[in-house]
Amino acid sequence: MIMKARVLDAGYGVAVLVAALAVYFAGGGDDSVQQVANDPFWYPKVLLVLIGVCSVWLLVKSALGRSGTPPSSIQWRALAATAMISGAYLLAYEALGFVPSTLALMLVMSGVLGFRRPLWLVVISILFTATIWYGFADLLNRTPPGPALPSITSLFQ
């Protein structure tokens, strides 16, 4: 059983690392030097670097034999639904905008993955989306892609 967990950690670590590196190097951006706040590609690249660090951590954990127990079975429906919902989010993001598509993503994804407390689900979805929206629109002065909404602070003035 331990060997299976090590193989899973190593396999997922390699797969995620290769995917993160491929997206990082094939990703957008030009070669000109820009300030971080003016470069729309810095945030996704930071996320890709963090994903790469986590995949290296999985590989090290596997090599040291410190893997946990593997799941008893793969939940194929949840995996397929997660992939389809994520794809729908990416397609809807540009057309609908950040706020409605992110709220829908969080509500639907949480339901699919088994979170069954509706009040908490709505509260967390709204707070998370509003926090990210505030961070980009008011702190970084960058509106997310898609139809633009005013900043949160301008709604209360």
Residue 149: what pLDDT?
A: 66
In this prediction, residue 18 carries a pLDDT of 85
Q: How far is CA 86 from CA 2, 104, 116, 138, in A?
A: 31, 11, 20, 26
At 155 the pLDDT is 61
Mean pLDDT, 10 residues at a time, the chain of 157 residues: 70 83 69 57 72 86 78 77 85 80 89 86 91 79 67 62
pLDDT of residue 139: 77
The two tokens of residue 116 are 């069954």
Taking Cα atoms as reference points, which of 25, 28, 47 lies closest to residue 39? 28
Domain boundaries along the sequence of the chain: 1-72, 73-157
Q: Residue 122's pLDDT is what?
A: 92
